[in-house]
Amino acid sequence: MLITFFRSIVLYIIVLVVMRLMGKREIGQLQPFELAISIMIADLASIPMTDTGVPIFNGIIPILGLLIMHLLISMINMKSSKAREIICGRPSILIYRGKINEKNLKKERFTINELEERLRGNNVINLGDVEYAILETSGQVTVIQKPDKRTTIPQDFNIMPEYEGIPYDLVVDGKVMTENLKEIGKDYKWLKKQVEKFKMEPEEALVVTIDGKGQIFCQKKEKNV
């Protein structure tokens, strides 16, 4: 029982490292070859994890082999557009200029109901509002609405919004984010002064953030009862 426990931990760490090396894609954004490798890795890890009679290296070595295969295919994809087309496929246009492409719909084995479901997932309720719908190689559907149905943006009214930048976490659960302070050109002394305005110390804060306009959000941690 103890051996199985430790084997599970070792294999979990190996699989976690391998998946991190494969990249940060979400499951819904995996290319077909990436999904196949992920499934195979899970299968290879489960055998030595549950069967103590199988040497643990019988699972680790094939997993590392799949990682090398993944990195090789990814490199080929970056170097050759033709290879990328063969391995990953090509995007397919399901709606073109407001008209459903029945040929591509049948080719991709997509029903009208599935298409409508994907459109709703993109916050589009009416088929008639869509100018283009493209089935990407990852399986995601990209929707481009008709010009008169799109959400307006400041540019439509010749308005230039102020630059917002990105917010930085300065304190998270009482821990001061020193690297983020350096990024914005500030130090602990400045942070302490800002947080004192909220009647607390930085170490007492649950979270402290600053946005691109210099506005600070601060919330104190609840005291343990």
Summarize pLDDT for 111-126 with one digit per residue, the tens. 889 999 999 999 998 8
Residue 225 reports pLDDT greater than 70 = no
Query: How many contiguous H segments (helices) and E segments (strands) does the chain have?
Result: 8, 8
Query: Is the confidence at residue 106, as pLDDT, over 60?
Result: yes
CA angle 13, 15, 20 (to 5 degrees): 95
Query: Tokens at residue 150, please?
Result: 């799109």
Tens digits of residue pLDDT in 147-166:
888 887 788 788 887 777 78
**pLDDT, mean of residues 133-137:** 90
Token representation of residue 77: 């994809």
User: What band does 23 get if pLDDT is binned at 50, 70 and 90?
Assistant: low
Write down the pLDDT at residue 22: 66
CA–CA dist 72, 75 (Å, integer): 5
Cα angle 86, 91, 93 (rounded to 5 degrees) comes to 140
Residue type, position 145, single letter: Q
Mean pLDDT of 51-59: 77
- Asked whether the predicted pLDDT for residue 14 surpasses 90, the reply is no
- Tokens 């659960």 correspond to 173
Partners of 93 in the β-ladder: 134
Spatial CA neighbour of 34 closest among 85, 70, 64: 70
- Output the pTM of the full model: 0.61
| Eight-class DSSP state of 150 | S
- CA dist 224 and 203 (Å) reads 15
CB 208 within 8 A of CB 173: no
| Helix orientation angle between 2-22 and 57-79, rounded to the nearest 10 degrees | 10
Which residue carries 């800002």 as its tokens?
A: 194
Model confidence at 201, in pLDDT bands (50, 70, 90)?
A: very high
State the Cα–Cα distance between residues 20 and 16, nearest whole angstrom.
6
**Domain made up of 92-149: CATH architecture:** 2-Layer Sandwich (3.30)
pLDDT digits (tens, 9 = 90+) for 202-214: 999 999 999 988 8
Residue 80, classed as helix, strand or coil, is coil
Q: Does pLDDT of 190 surpass 90?
A: yes
In the chain, which segments carry CATH 3.30.240.20?
92-149, 168-220
**Predicted pLDDT of residue 37:** 78
Mean pLDDT, residues 138-150: 87
What would the CATH number be for the domain defined by 168-220?
3.30.240.20
Query: Which residue has better confidence, 35 or 44?
Result: 44
CA–CA distance, 151 with 21 (Å, rounded to integer): 38
pLDDT band with cut points at 50, 70 and 90 for residue 185:
very high
pLDDT at 25: 57
The confidence score (pLDDT) of residue 93 equals 93
